């Protein structure tokens, strides 16, 4: 897939006004009807000026197969539901009580002008461990079921498809009870396996593969194999799909911001290409409440960086992204006062509350002295701003300690006359970003006070503190 689409069309917005969209993570996404989008474990393809999103329907709150849905969008934010393109009526083999279908991925076969889907085909409590192959003459049309099988006799579970610049296509899937990851080259018609290219990272238990290519370098992102629970994403690079591949390196924090990769979506603009990490935030056993987490990947040579943003913007015309621009930049911020920092057991310095990385946290002391609540952090923003909102992002790892409950927030022109709090209350116990709006107040200094902690501990932790305002 390329940013110009299957037909080579130019990036969106050419010849007109720039198109800028905002992605909001940690909330439910609805389609144009106002109905929740059901396209988990999804794959994407760009055809003309339209993106298509194909994924699993989990609206019945079960891992068992209900359907594979197709959505269409011209801006990656407003999605139109086209139809369920694969259902139990597509083929008799799909109409089994224990059928499970996961991670559908789609590519376009130029010679036959057909869209080809490969997916994870299961039944009998994940005992089949096979691949399923489908094709259609239209992206949102009736798909023909070709077969389900184990490639080269190998088990096949979480998967992805990748179409290279030369038209060759590859299927990558977890094998050997998810212990190994196998790369296969497809036959010229994309409907079968031509050869097994390599087995990557034997006994390393990697799944949820997602591949992209930039400047001749292949990047392969994977998750660990921990069922529905989030874990540390890792990636590797190579100058050839044949290998050799680099060692695995960590991506994001230790639970990938509570998500699992499903696809890396290139958005090609007139000035740059942004690679969007598209992931699922699974909510087992309440799969109906699963969400989508899309984040911009930072690519530098053979290095990838993934940070969390509750909201961020993407210019579809230029291809450039930026954090949500309502927030005051952190570049000139400095700590004026913090009552407690943990620097022995971990690097929990207060500056990590505004280092633009959700992977790091300010953590109050738990070695030596263990001061109790309240805890506070005072910050000089570098100049005066008309502040109208604050946002607190809790730690996003699995550790339950330090999540703020009761809080107060102050804005002032100096650090001695704070006056009354502009915002106060009690945050919820979940890990989503918490925002408090208040009447605009001019100030250079801000003060965050944690008065209590969700589980009752004496600790406070914070991934990021953000402020909305203007000079």
* Domain boundary pick from 276, 296, 323: 323
Residue 460 maps to which CATH number? 2.60.120.260
Strand-strand pairing, 311-315 and 20-24: antiparallel
Q: Rounded to whole angstroms, how far apart are CA atoms 9 and 404?
A: 49
Identify the domain containing residue 414 by its residue range: 334-470
pLDDT string in tens for the chain (471-residue length): 223 333 333 444 445 688 999 999 988 999 999 999 999 999 999 999 999 999 999 999 999 999 999 999 999 999 999 999 999 999 999 999 999 999 999 999 999 999 999 999 999 889 999 999 999 999 999 999 999 999 999 999 999 999 999 999 999 999 999 999 999 999 999 999 999 999 999 999 999 999 999 999 999 999 999 999 999 999 999 999 999 999 999 999 999 999 999 999 999 999 999 999 999 999 989 999 999 999 999 999 999 999 988 889 999 999 999 877 678 989 999 999 999 999 999 999 999 999 988 889 999 999 988 999 999 999 999 999 999 999 999 998 888 899 999 999 999 999 999 999 999 999 999 888 999 999 999 999 999 999 999 999 999 999 999 999 988
Domain-embedded: residue 261? yes
* Residues 20-53: b if buried by 16+ CB within 10 A, e if exposed: bbebebbeeeebeeeeebbbbbbbbbbbebbbbb
31 CB contacts (<8 Å, ≥6 apart)? 37, 71, 79, 80, 81
Domain-embedded: residue 188? yes
Q: Is there a single domain that holds both residue 339 and residue 370?
A: yes
Provide the domain count of the chain: 2
* Domain boundary pick from 294, 323, 352: 323
> Residue 309: what pLDDT?
86
Domain-embedded: residue 12? no
Domain-embedded: residue 2? no
> Residue 26: what pLDDT?
85
> Residue 325: what pLDDT?
64
Domain-embedded: residue 236? yes
Q: Is there a single domain that holds both residue 358 and residue 409?
A: yes
> Residue 134: what pLDDT?
98
> Residue 5: what pLDDT?
32
Q: Rounded to whole angstroms, how far apart are CA atoms 370 and 299?
A: 40
Residue 38 maps to which CATH number? 2.115.10.20
Domain-embedded: residue 3? no
Domain-embedded: residue 263? yes
Q: Is there a single domain that holds both residue 92 and residue 34?
A: yes
DSSP codes, 241-293: TTSPPPPPEEESSTTTTT-EEEEEEEEE-SS-EEEEEEEEE--SS-GGG-EEE
Q: Is there a single domain that holds both residue 309 and residue 385?
A: no
CA 268 remoteness from chain centre:
19
Q: Rounded to whole angstroms, how far apart are CA atoms 436 and 391?
A: 6
> Residue 17: what pLDDT?
80
174 CB contacts (<8 Å, ≥6 apart)? 155, 156, 157, 158, 159, 180, 181, 182, 206, 207, 209, 225
Q: Is there a single domain that holds both residue 202 and residue 340?
A: no
Q: Is there a single domain that holds both residue 308 and residue 396?
A: no
């Amino acid at each position: 897939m390329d940013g110009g689409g299957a037909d080579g069309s130019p990036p969106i917005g050419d010849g007109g006004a720039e198109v800028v969209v905002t992605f909001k993570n940690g909330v439910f996404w609805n389609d144009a009807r106002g109905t929740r989008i059901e396209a988990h474990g999804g794959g994407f393809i760009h055809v003309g000026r339209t993106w298509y999103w194909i994924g699993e329907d989990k609206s019945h709150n079960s891992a068992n197969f209900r359907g594979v849905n197709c959505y269409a969008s011209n801006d990656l934010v407003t999605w139109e539901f086209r139809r369920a393109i694969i259902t139990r009526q597509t083929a008799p083999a799909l109409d089994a009580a224990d059928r499970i279908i996961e991670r559908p991925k789609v590519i376009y076969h130029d010679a036959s002008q057909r869209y080809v889907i490969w997916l994870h085909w299961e039944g009998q409590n994940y005992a089949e461990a096979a691949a399923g192959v489908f094709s259609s003459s239209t992206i949102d049309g009736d798909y023909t079921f070709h077969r389900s099988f184990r490639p080269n006799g190998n088990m096949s579970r979480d998967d992805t498809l990748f179409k290279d610049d030369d038209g060759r296509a590859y299927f990558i899937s977890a094998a050997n009870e998810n212990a190994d990851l196998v790369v296969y080259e497809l036959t010229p018609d994309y409907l079968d396996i031509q050869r097994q290219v390599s087995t990557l990272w034997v006994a390393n238990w990697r799944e949820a593969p997602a591949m992209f290519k930039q400047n001749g370098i292949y990047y392969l992102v994977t998750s660990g194999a921990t069922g529905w629970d989030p874990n540390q994403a890792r990636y590797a690079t190579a100058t050839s799909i044949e290998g050799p591949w680099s060692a695995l390196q960590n991506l994001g924090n230790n639970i990938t911001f509570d998500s699992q990769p499903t696809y890396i979506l290139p958005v090609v603009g007139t000035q740059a290409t942004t690679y969007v990490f598209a992931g699922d935030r699974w909510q087992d056993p309440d799969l109906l409440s699963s969400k989508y987490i899309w984040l911009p990947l930072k690519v530098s040579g053979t290095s990838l960086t993934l940070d969390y943003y509750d909201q961020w913007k993407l210019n579809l015309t230029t291809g450039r992204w930026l954090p949500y621009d309502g927030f005051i930049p952190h570049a000139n911020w400095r700590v004026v006062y913090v009552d407690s920092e943990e620097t022995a057991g971990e690097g929990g310095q207060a500056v990590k509350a505004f280092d633009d990385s959700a992977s790091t946290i300010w953590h109050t002391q738990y070695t030596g002295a263990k001061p109790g609540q309240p805890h506070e952090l005072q910050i000089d923003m570098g100049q005066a701003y008309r502040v109208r909102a604050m946002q607190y992002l809790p730690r996003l790892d699995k550790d339950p300690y330090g999540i703020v409950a009761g809080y107060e927030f102050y804005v002032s022109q100096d650090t001695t006359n704070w006056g009354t709090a502009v915002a106060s209350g009690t945050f919820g116990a979940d890990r989503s970003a918490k925002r408090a709006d208040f009447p605009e107040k001019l100030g250079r200094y801000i003060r965050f006070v944690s008065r209590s902690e969700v589980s009752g501990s004496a600790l406070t932790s914070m991934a990021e503190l953000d402020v909305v305002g203007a000079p």
